[in-house]
């Protein structure tokens, strides 16, 4: 039999999971605390026992799932990986929580400040690996020398554009799974040492 403390923790976990599912499917700003309570089969007041405000609930969900995404990206990127392998690991890590991540980037400007901090955390996880792989390949002459901040921002911009418009690029499917390889090939092609030379 679970102790009161264990029951409380189980309820908190259930609220986080239900909120995550609703945020992913309906949107973070469109989901009310009463929706989360209904989904978790608890009273509305129970939500506030665990999360004093709606912003606290949003922050907890974002924090929890950001940790998972960051941990997964680190797991997927092997030491000494090529730039293509890093990009593939990034897309795979994001695709596991694609709907939630897409909501986070599209609704970010109107979410509590923790959302922006969280996005920066996810992006810094990949920027470290991307910079390491890119520096190595630039030194080898495999790719053109490009400032790391432009290299990174171009990749993030490309990924975010497809995620924000996933209904156009992959209706009813994972845009990262459907278009991911195409994005990697295109991006790496832009960095080819011959891509900026006239034929």
- Calculate mean pLDDT across residues 140-161: 95
Q: Are 142 and 193 in contact (CB under 8 A)?
A: yes
First-to-last CA distance in the chain? 74
Instruction: Give residue 169's Cα distance to chain centre.
Output: 18
Burial, 146: exposed, middle or buried (Cβ in 10 Å; 0-12, 13-18, 19+)?
Answer: middle
Select from 192, 133, 134, 126 the least CA-distant residue to 159: 126
Q: Dihedrals φ, ψ of 114, to 5°?
A: -60, -30
Instruction: Determine the average pLDDT of the residues in 35-63.
Output: 94
DSSP state of 3: -
Q: Which residue intervals of the chain bear CATH 1.10.10.60?
A: 1-52
| The pLDDT of residue 114 | 77
Question: pTM for the complete prediction?
Answer: 0.86
Percentage of the chain surpassing pLDDT 70? 97
Tens digit of each residue's pLDDT (9 = 90 or more) over 13-38: 999 999 999 999 999 999 999 999 99
Alpha-carbon distances, residue 171 vs 90, 157, 179, 185 (angstroms): 22, 20, 12, 22
Residue 197 pLDDT > 60, yes or no?
no
- Count the Cβ atoms, other than its own, within 10 Å of residue 89: 21
Q: Where in the chain is CATH 1.10.357.10?
A: 58-190
Q: Please state which architecture CATH assigns to domain 1-52.
A: Orthogonal Bundle (1.10)
Using pLDDT thresholds of 50, 70 and 90, give the confidence band for residue 199. very low
Lowest-confidence segment of 3-7, 141-145, 159-163, 180-184 by average pLDDT: 3-7
Residue with the bigger pLDDT between 121 and 19: it is 19
Q: Which CATH number fits domain 58-190: 3.30.200.20, 1.10.3720.10, 3.40.309.10, 1.10.357.10?
A: 1.10.357.10
d(CA 111, CA 157): 20
Q: Which of 62-71, 166-175, 179-188 has the lowest mean pLDDT?
A: 62-71
């Amino acid at each position: 039999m679970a102790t009161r403390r264990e029951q409380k923790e189980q309820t908190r976990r259930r609220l986080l999971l239900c909120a995550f599912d609703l945020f992913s499917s309906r949107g973070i700003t469109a989901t009310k605390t009463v929706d989360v309570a209904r989904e978790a089969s608890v009273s509305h007041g129970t939500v506030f026992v665990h999360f004093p405000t709606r912003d606290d609930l949003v922050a907890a969900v974002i924090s929890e799932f950001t940790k998972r995404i960051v941990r997964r990206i680190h797991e997927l990127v092997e030491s000494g990986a090529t730039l293509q392998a890093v990009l593939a690991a990034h897309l795979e890590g994001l695709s596991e929580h694609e709907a939630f991540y897409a909501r986070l980037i599209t609704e970010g400007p109107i979410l509590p400040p923790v959302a922006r901090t969280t996005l920066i955390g996810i992006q810094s996880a990949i920027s470290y690996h991307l910079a390491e792989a890119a520096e190595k390949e630039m030194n080898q002459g495999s790719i053109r020398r490009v400032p790391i901040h432009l290299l990174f921002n171009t990749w993030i911009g490309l990924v975010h554009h497809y995620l924000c418009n996933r209904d156009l690029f992959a209706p009813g499917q994972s845009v990262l799974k459907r278009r991911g390889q195409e994005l990697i090939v295109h991006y790496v092609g832009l960095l080819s040492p011959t891509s900026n030379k006239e034929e």
